[in-house]
Structure 1
Amino acid sequence: MSHSADADSVKSVFLSAVQFATSTHSFPPFIDDLKLSAQEQVEYMLVEDQHAPLFINDDHVKSELRTCLSKMFSLFEVQACSLLLQSDDSLEAAAKMALSSLSDIEWICKILPKMDLMKDFVVSWLCISEKILAILREENIDTFLWAFKLKLLEVLGKVLEAIGYGNVVLPTAARVCMLKLWLPYIRKWKLLLDLHDSSDQLCMYKIDSDLCHNIEAAIVSLVLALPSNDQAEIFSDWLTAEKVTYPDLSEAFELWCFRSKAAKRRCMAGENGVGAAPL
């Protein structure tokens, strides 16, 4: 009985730490330090603590984390939508709140793979993507809020890596949708930020080179795993985009061309009653 009670207590502490680590309560001036401490404790309990298997394999803990994740995305969506309602004077404060929620969402990416819950995260991200991108297209936001947009790219990078490297398996339609939604904005943001030199106020929002590489590599991997017809559609859009520099899909495009030619040769050989032509 005591062992069971101890296990329940440890799980309770873990869930309380997760809830506080993603809380939106305001307790200035210590809230940031307390949240950081809670986040570090959660990470420690999942990696170093002897009780880690209690969390990783517990259905109740996973259910609570799914609920927490749902609340986080709902809050972030509400805060992002509220940006459209702000005056110029209040936009910065509203954006700061949305950025804080997005930072919490980024943090929880660290623990979800250990709980085998990253698919829940990716699906939630896909569900809000169209609405978030519509908000970013609005005139009063399109050329502002770069800290917020950079954080979006950082979270998007984690989503693309999870899908691109097969850690999260989604139907083809969902993978194509993710690429079609986000590729134009990845190109646009990267181009705009690269145009600013060190004297520009936006230079502080340069995209980290490692982040650029990781996003590009994940996109290439994701594209190469799609059916040929879906790849063709992605490449067609990529080739017709102005100033195509990022992401660089040239190697993936060359491989697609090679595979398409090989498939055509096999098809023609089959129609002629001849064995497949050697590659």
Structure 2
Amino acid sequence: MEPAKLVEVYKFDDHSTSDVRVCFKLIDEQPEWFSCHSSVLSQNSKYFADWLGQNDVSSNNCIEIECPRVEYDHYVKMLKSIYLPRESVIDSFDSVKSAVGVLRASHSLGCEFVTKSCIQYIEAASWDEKEEEEIIEVAQTLGSDAVSLLARLQAPSADAVKNVFISAIRFATCMEAPFPPFLDDLKTSAQEQIDFMIHDDDDTALVTTDEDVKSVVREGLRKLLSALRTVLDLLSTEFDESPHQAEQRILCSLADIDWITSLLGKIEMMHDFVSGWLEISDHVLSVVQDKKYTSDLWAVKAKLIEVTGKALDAVGYGSVVLPSSSRVRFLKTWLPYIQMTKRLLDENSKDETSLQMDSDSCQNIESAIVSMVLALPSDDQADILSEWMKKAEQFRYPDLTEAFEVWCYRSKTAKRRLVGGLNGASNPTVSL
């Protein structure tokens, strides 16, 4: 009789028609016997078929199977599943945990159709991290049957990673217009996942060197810088209506720019940011330094120093190479703002509830400025240092003492070299 017909005729644990009993033995516990049918067992399980082929049920109709306590319920459920119509087995599962347990039992007892039903259910369900570990462990025993089960865990192709990365960049930089406010959480999630994808990942590193990816990143950067310009242009009107909301919009824009600078640094594209930031610097400062906001926008003013610090760091330590004229312009544009804003923030910091800049960040910015100054032509260094010394009593930050000392030493050494060179030219050494 076909297996499907057998399960229609026989019912699980039906004492009146049973010809064999099954027990899953537990140590130190009273065994529980289940009334079964040899024809159903042998048709659906290799283990039972082998046992029944080697034993005469007329003289020994008790099948004992050793079973770990934690697996007991799963073995019982597997035994019950043998009696279900095959199309109903999948519907009998109520959780991934249960299906994984039954899968272990069915594989152990060689019940092929229950095993396949378990795999189909698990493959279609969502897993948590703990369940995934169990599934991987079980899959290692299944051979080729595990292919579909582990499909979602296989490493994606480079093209797939590239496509997802590009889509995430477009979402993270709000490139899809219009971008409704309720998607801000998803934007933040996209930014976090991009950071995760490029963290110490060789495969993703290959993707980030792709020119298509770099093109999208550049487009995203331009979008964010343009968005900052837009919110600054609207600041005057929005500030009159709601100062807090206007400030938050700018902070949100700066946070996005701050995020992309971290990404650009990891994929060696900081030159694009530095160039773009230098391009909009005059406009940014003209808005923020307007007399209307003299006593407001402190969070924005501090964040501007932080973001500018990323550019100063990149230029100061050589990861971005700019002509000396651009470096001079950069310093002369931002140094007065940094001096004034830092002093005002420090004065306000006497109030414990006021905004304070991170000391490590301030130290890094100061070091980057010193490094930038020392890399300029000597006359440009002199211009910047003389302006700094004129205001040294008024502005204690940044401290350019180190740059001044090095400039003095270099100037004296250069003069000696010049004098020595002239003397050498007028009194050439004669060799006989």
TM-based fold match above 0.5:
yes
1:218 equivalent in structure 2: 368
Bigger relative CO (Cα 8 Å, ≥ 6 apart) = 1
List per-residue Cα deviations over 1:12-68 (Å, max 9, x = no partner): 11111122222283353xx44423321121012112445313322201110111111
Indicate which of 263, 288, 293 corresponds to 1:111: 263
- Secondary structure of the residue that 2:319 maps to in structure 1? coil
- Going from structure 1 to structure 2, the CA distance change for 1:95 and 1:244 (only over 3 Å counts) comes to closer
Maintained 8 Å contact 2:173/2:223:
no
Shift of 1:115: 1.9
Maintained 8 Å contact 2:170/2:216:
no
Cα RMSD between the aligned structures?
2.0
1:51 equivalent in structure 2: 203
Confirm or deny that 1:83 pairs with 2:239.
no
Partner Cα separation in structure 1 for residue 351 and residue 333 of structure 2: 32
Shift of 1:153: 1.1
Task: Give the unaligned 5+ runs of structure 2.
Answer: 1-155, 427-432
1:74 equivalent in structure 2: 226
- Secondary structure of the residue that 2:398 maps to in structure 1? coil
More helix by share: 1
Pick the structure with greater CA Rg: 2
- Secondary structure of the residue that 2:157 maps to in structure 1? helix
Indicate which of 16, 26, 30 corresponds to 2:180: 26
- Going from structure 1 to structure 2, the CA distance change for 1:100 and 1:87 (only over 3 Å counts) comes to closer
- Secondary structure of the residue that 1:244 maps to in structure 2? coil
Partner Cα separation in structure 2 for residue 107 and residue 236 of structure 1: 35
Indicate which of 124, 144, 152 corresponds to 2:276: 124
1:152 equivalent in structure 2: 304
Indicate which of 267, 272, 275 corresponds to 2:418: 267
Shift of 1:82: 1.6
Shift of 1:273: 3.1
Partner Cα separation in structure 2 for residue 87 and residue 157 of structure 1: 26
Confirm or deny that 1:141 pairs with 2:293.
yes
List per-residue Cα deviations over 1:98-143 (Å, max 9, x = no partner): 2111100000111112222110000000000011111122111232
Partner Cα separation in structure 2 for residue 117 and residue 243 of structure 1: 37
Partner Cα separation in structure 1 for residue 188 and residue 326 of structure 2: 34
2:344 equivalent in structure 1: 192
Partner Cα separation in structure 2 for residue 50 and residue 265 of structure 1: 52
List per-residue Cα deviations over 1:135-165 (Å, max 9, x = no partner): 1221112321111111111111111100000
Shift of 1:71: 1.0
Indicate which of 372, 382, 395 corresponds to 1:232: 382
Maintained 8 Å contact 1:45/1:51:
no
Maintained 8 Å contact 1:99/1:148:
yes
Maintained 8 Å contact 2:173/2:224:
yes
List per-residue Cα deviations over 1:174-207 (Å, max 9, x = no partner): 1000100010111101111111244365x2x111
Partner Cα separation in structure 2 for residue 149 and residue 244 of structure 1: 17
TM norm structure 2? 0.59
Confirm or deny that 1:92 pairs with 2:244.
yes
- Secondary structure of the residue that 1:110 maps to in structure 2? helix
Partner Cα separation in structure 2 for residue 70 and residue 212 of structure 1: 27
Shift of 1:262: 1.1
Partner Cα separation in structure 1 for residue 352 and residue 235 of structure 2: 25
Confirm or deny that 1:15 pairs with 2:166.
yes
TM norm structure 1? 0.89
1:42 equivalent in structure 2: 194
Q: Which moved more, 1:77-86 or 1:158-167?
A: 77-86
